[in-house]
Chains A and B, each alone.
Chain A
């Protein structure tokens, strides 16, 4: 009994510490005057409005959303055929590409960022807005690769046998049998890559830092001129969006399984 109380207390304390910085930021974001005071003085949503009305903040928000959408889509386009190929054929050599896809995610991000910087400078595209889309797609290809490998692994091969016996070729099997089964994994892979691209700073900064302002770059640049409630409002919006995306993944997919726990009936 005592043990259980202590456990709940510890869990509650951890939840509180994890939430504390976000709660304080949410508090200062509703200050009436342009100051970061907690508890907030007065109540105003003007700083949230400013995120959407101020051209600088709105531009950064739109840039981030466009970059995240395109790069997550490209990441899925790279990961899908690779994961399918590894599942469909017996080709041990192709595992090398899987390892390549996992590497950027494990190494410290500054390394990948520096690699991209040298590459884009060498091919003369340093600073071009589209380079950040390609860079993020390769940097985050790990996520759809992992979810899709799980997804293909979960496909019951006897369905495929049945379809093939009845005369379906590879393409038909993929379209009518495999695709519907792996669709949740495609969506969650896209969502993971989308959220991480939205929050990514160092690769974006090294690749297009001087020509394009994503939201994290904009926040960092603004920090140098002092803290404002607008940043707090942006932060709250970002945290909410992130939590919303993961909430949706959990709602439509099997989150514990995606994160590596075996399903109960495995």
Chain B
């Protein structure tokens, strides 16, 4: 089989269906959304074609600024916490015997693919007054009586880190699984403790991977749209929640689309940065 450029219709035929599907059902909807963001809203829940930037001007309001900075700050906090816990964890994970590794991976994948609805429900039950963790504290004599810990900022943060942790591990997994074990062995042979070898050899060696992963988790956390509603208070609503709210409940598609375009730009810029950081490590 010679791997050359395809010629003629027959050789191109296999790619027609996937290309058509992706263009019609992804490129066109995506472009349409960008178009809607400059359309004019008509009272009654509809919009008509136009070229206005009123939807973008609303970004300048203090309300939007507040939501935006809260979303970015929260996502950054979640990313740093998740990578901080997941990095040492994954480092140990790749050294486990294959069987144990696979059991962990199945467990992590199962949690990662859980619906946000289910994660939100499970955490609010865990933090509730009747079934929650505070009952355990009462039994241990740490608290006088059980109380509800949700909704609150802490509950939201716990839920988001819970959701992001398996994702972080799986993003870090390939890089750490391919890490040359001799590097650390060499450091150990030369007399450094395991902890010292970890911080002076492993962490600096994977600095770019850590940066790239943190950015990817940041984008992942930005996408959370149900946990802020289920575990947080209204002041903890993020941009993703606001977009859903405007699109569905306020029937303001143009404004929702404008915010979505903004979110796309932020996300794409960050993903580009992550790819750049990841690539530099590969060539190094």
Q: Which of A84, A119, A202 contacts B244 (CB 8 A)?
A: A202
Chain A positions within 8 Å of B30 at CB level: 115
Minimum Cβ distance to chain A for residue B13 (Å): 9
Docked Cα-Cα span, A223 to B125, in Å, equals 12
**A239 and B118 within 8 A (CB):** yes
B26 within 8 A of partner (CB): yes
**A97 and B6 within 8 A (CB):** no
Docked Cα-Cα span, A250 to B105, in Å, equals 9
Minimum Cβ distance to chain A for residue B118 (Å): 5
**A256 and B177 within 8 A (CB):** yes
B247 within 8 A of partner (CB): yes
B22 within 8 A of partner (CB): yes
Chain-B contact segment, one of A44-52, A179-187, A192-200: A192-200
Docked Cα-Cα span, A38 to B127, in Å, equals 11
**Residues 170-189 of chain A, each 1 if its beta carbon lies under 8 Å from chain B, else 0:** 10010000000000000000
On whether A100 and B94 interact (CB within 8 A), knowing A82-B15, A90-B4, A107-B264, the answer reads: no
On whether A247 and B106 interact (CB within 8 A), knowing A11-B92, A38-B132, A196-B113, the answer reads: yes
Chain B positions within 8 Å of A63 at CB level: none
Chain-A contact segment, one of B50-58, B59-67, B253-261: B253-261
**B131 and A38 within 8 A (CB):** yes
**B122 and A246 within 8 A (CB):** no
**B25 and A135 within 8 A (CB):** yes
B3 within 8 A of partner (CB): yes
Minimum Cβ distance to chain B for residue A217 (Å): 8
B212 within 8 A of partner (CB): no
**B1 and A161 within 8 A (CB):** yes
- A:27-62 near B, CB below 8 Å: 27-28, 35-38
Nearest residue, chain B, Cβ from A218: B117
Q: Which of B14, B19, B123, B173 contacts A259 (CB 8 A)?
A: B173
**B253 and A118 within 8 A (CB):** yes
Docked Cα-Cα span, A18 to B236, in Å, equals 23
B208 within 8 A of partner (CB): no
**A37 and B130 within 8 A (CB):** yes
Chain A positions within 8 Å of B115 at CB level: 199-201, 216, 219, 238
Docked Cα-Cα span, A238 to B123, in Å, equals 16
Q: Which of A27, A78, A164 contacts B22 (CB 8 A)?
A: A78
Chain A positions within 8 Å of B170 at CB level: 259
Chain A positions within 8 Å of B26 at CB level: 100, 103-104, 112, 115, 138
Please name 8 pairs of A and B residues whose Cβ atoms are closer than 8 Å in the assembled complex, sorted by A. Answer: A21-B125, A21-B162, A25-B125, A81-B14, A110-B240, A239-B110, A239-B114, A261-B174
Apart from A21-B122, A36-B131, list 4 A-B contacts with CB within 8 A.
A84-B14, A110-B260, A112-B26, A117-B253
Which A residues have a C-beta under 8 Å from some C-beta of B?
A: 3, 7, 10-11, 14-15, 17-18, 20-22, 24-25, 27-28, 35-38, 77-79, 81-82, 84-85, 88-91, 94, 97, 100-101, 103-104, 106-119, 122, 134-135, 137-138, 141, 157, 160-161, 164, 170, 173, 195-196, 199-202, 205-206, 209, 216, 219-220, 223, 227, 231-232, 235, 238-239, 242-243, 246-247, 250, 255-256, 259-262
Minimum-distance CB pairs A-B, first 7: A260-B174, A108-B223, A38-B131, A261-B177, A21-B122, A119-B29, A115-B29
